[in-house]
Every structure is written in structure tokens, then in C-alpha cells.
Structure 1
Amino acid sequence: MTIDPWRITGQSEIDSYVGSRVELAVLLANRLTATSAHGRPVTPPSSGDERLAAISAGRAESGRPPGPLTSALTAADADRLAEVAAELRPMFGAGPRIVEAAAGLNRLLVRHGAVPNLHGDPDRPLVLAFHRPDAGLVDAWAADMGTALAMVIGVGQAARLGACQAGNCCLVFFDTTRNASRRFCDLSCQNRAKASAYRARRRA
């Protein structure tokens, strides 16, 4: 399977499932583990209720309002997902550390029982998921996100799992540009970095 047909080229979304799970990993890493964003320190949520609210708010802001699965999340699930997010974060911006990061990802896949599996309802087409049909919600999310990241890395596209290069920002992102040239989490950080570089040149 290749991630190429997804949004990177604008062709048929054969791998939209992979892309959506990578974006879910981005959301959880940013909402549950980030300690700085856009030049300012931030405090990650520390309680299950706060983490649950952060996940729901993040999905709503990304255009994915809470569905049945998100609504089924509990505060205890959110605490476990924060641990999963912390394990997934090293995949982003890994650079030469990718082999070490991948070893941690392999352990996560085993622990959460990742396995290719066809899921579907009687009146809907089958879809390929990466968790057992009987997996709990946290294991299902972890297996799906971990496998999606592994697939991106496994086709030589690890560079698309980016970390913001602006100062005082540890947000991560999935780079879907054609030439994998994205360096910042958003335009505000890009502008901050340009302004900082300009001031440095003026001082020099």
C-alpha cells in the first residue's frame, strides 16, 4: 500500500484511512503532550477530564465533530491516550533518530495488538483497519495510529512526519505538500521564524 494517492497528489483517496489516523496522532500529540506552542509555553492537560475535553475540542476544531467513538471515550481512556501520544511523539521530526524511534513504535504495535483486519456493517462496504474487531477503544486507536505512522515511515516518507522548527514551539504536523518542504506547524510560526531571522541579520 502507498500513501501517494492520498491528499499529497489529490488523486483518489485510497489511503484516506491512513491519513486520518496520522492526523489523529498529530492531534493527540499536540493536545496532550505539547509544552510550547507558537512561541509560548503551554501546560498539557493533567487530569482525565481535561484530556477528554482537549481531545473533543481538537477534533471539533479540525472539522471532525465527536462521533460515536469519541463520545464513548472516558476520562480513564483519555489518560491512557496521553501515554500513547507521548510514545508516538518521537516519530515526528525524528530525522537521524528514526531507527531508535521506530523501535519504540514496534513495541507499541505489539502491546496494543495491531493487526490488519477488515471491518464493516451489513449495509456498508468493508474497510481495512489495523486493530482486532474486539479491541477496546484505546487499543484500537493506538493500533490504528501506530500502524499508520509505520506505513508512512515504511514507504520512505518519514520526513513528512514533521516537528515545527520555529523557536519555542513543539507542535507536530503531517506534511502533505508535494515536495515535503513544510517546516512549520502553521503560518504564524513561519512568520515568527522569518521575523527572527531578519532581526538576526540586522544585528549582524
Structure 2
Amino acid sequence: MLLVNELAISRARGRDVVPPATGQDRREAIQQALATAGLPQSRSLTDSDADRLAVVALRLRPVFDPEERIESRAEGLNQLLVRHAAVPNLHGHPDGQPVLAFHRADADLVDAWTSDAGTALAMVIGVGQAARLRSCEAGGCESVFFDTTRNASRRFCGLSCQNRAKASAYRARRAAETA
């Protein structure tokens, strides 16, 4: 989701956003988004990697579109998983416990990130939870998210979009009452 929201949308929280267009800008945007999310930054992320990840983000974007048929969402993910050689295996550091990953131990950063993200999304779809992969329903926002609510009823990427949508609906009702 982080990659899609940083590199593949043009509207967020009611405002136009311009996705970064160069490798350096993309790399900086990814690093900033990782830091904001409380995730470790990648020291090995290059400008070239960031450019390749922008292509991946564009291919992942339809997975979050509820209007897209589930079969085409699955097919797009399958193609991505094959292209980036996703394969489950255990690997890790020599002095630590092995971890389950969905990329080869020798995979480059883009293949590793894409394989792991693509597999996670495929697992969500495969267990019948595709409806939890959502796009914000607020006007002027294309952000994507994973709905973690108990009844899968979340409609907005965040509180600011929810507030904007509710205020807009209130103004529309008031205008209809006075008309």
C-alpha cells in the first residue's frame, strides 16, 4: 500500500498530488514514507530501484479497485509474482532464526519487496478477503488501504477524508432542504 500511495496516485485527501517523477525523488519519497510508517529505511535502495518500484506500484494499484473483477485482480498479481520470481522459503542471518519470506535469498531489493507484497495481497484475496483491499471513497482521494475493521465497513483512508466526506454530505443535505 505504501508504494501505491506514494508512487501511483494523483489525488490524496482532496488535493492533487504529483507522484515523484525521477529516481532520486522516488527514492526520497519511499524513504520518507517508510520513516513516517515507523519502518526501517533501506540503505540499499537506489534511484534505479525506486524507478522499478514505481512500475510495480502502478501494477499493484488495480488490486485495490473494488470495481475491478476479482479474476483480473488475481491475474495481475499472478503475473507480478511470476515476473519477480516469488517463491516461499526460509532464510535469514547466519546468527539468527530463519524467517519465512516469499523471495529468493539472493533476490534484489525490488524483486524481494515485490514478491513479499504481491504474495501478501494474493493471500488476502485467496482467503476470501479481497473486499478488505479498498480505495478511499472520499471525493478527491485515490489512496488505498487494508480495512482492518471487524465488519469490513471502513470507507475512507483516514479521518481527514471521512470528515471531508461527512461535511460535504451535510452541506448537500442542507442545500436540498433550503431548495
Same fold (TM over 0.5): yes
Amino acid at match of 2:17: V
| 1:127 matches 2:99 | yes
Provide the residue aligned with 1:64 in structure 2.
39
8 Å CA contact 1:163, 1:170 repeated in 2: yes
8 Å CA contact 1:119, 1:127 repeated in 2: yes
1:83-142 deviation line (CA, Å, top 9, x unaligned): 001101111133452211211111111110011111122321111100111111111111
Amino acid at match of 1:100: S
Provide the residue aligned with 1:190 in structure 2.
162
Between the aligned partners of 1:94 and 1:101, the Cα distance in structure 2 is 9
Q: 1:45 aligns with which of 6, 15, 20?
A: 20
Q: Alignment partner of 1:83: what SS? A: helix
Q: 1:76 aligns with which of 30, 39, 48?
A: 48
| 1:140 matches 2:112 | yes
Shift, 1:176, TM fit: 1.3
Between the aligned partners of 2:38 and 2:93, the Cα distance in structure 1 is 24
Amino acid at match of 1:46: A
* Cα RMSD for the two superposed structures: 1.1
Alignment gaps of 5+ in structure 2: none
- Calculate the TM-score normalised by the size of structure 2: 0.95
Query: Compared with structure 1, are the counterparts of its residues 72 and 96 closer, same or farther at alpha carbon in structure 2 (3 Å cutoff)?
Result: closer
8 Å CA contact 2:62, 2:68 repeated in 1: no
Which structure has the larger Rg?
Answer: 2
1:19-62 deviation line (CA, Å, top 9, x unaligned): xxxxxxx1100011110011111100000000000000000001
| 1:163 matches 2:138 | no
8 Å CA contact 2:10, 2:18 repeated in 1: yes
Amino acid at match of 1:105: L
Between the aligned partners of 2:43 and 2:93, the Cα distance in structure 1 is 20
Between the aligned partners of 2:172 and 2:139, the Cα distance in structure 1 is 13
Amino acid at match of 1:143: S
Between the aligned partners of 2:36 and 2:4, the Cα distance in structure 1 is 15
- Calculate the TM-score normalised by the size of structure 1: 0.83
The alignment-based identity, stated in percent, is 66
Between the aligned partners of 1:75 and 1:98, the Cα distance in structure 2 is 33
Between the aligned partners of 2:91 and 2:40, the Cα distance in structure 1 is 22
Shift, 1:65, TM fit: 3.3
Between the aligned partners of 1:166 and 1:77, the Cα distance in structure 2 is 32
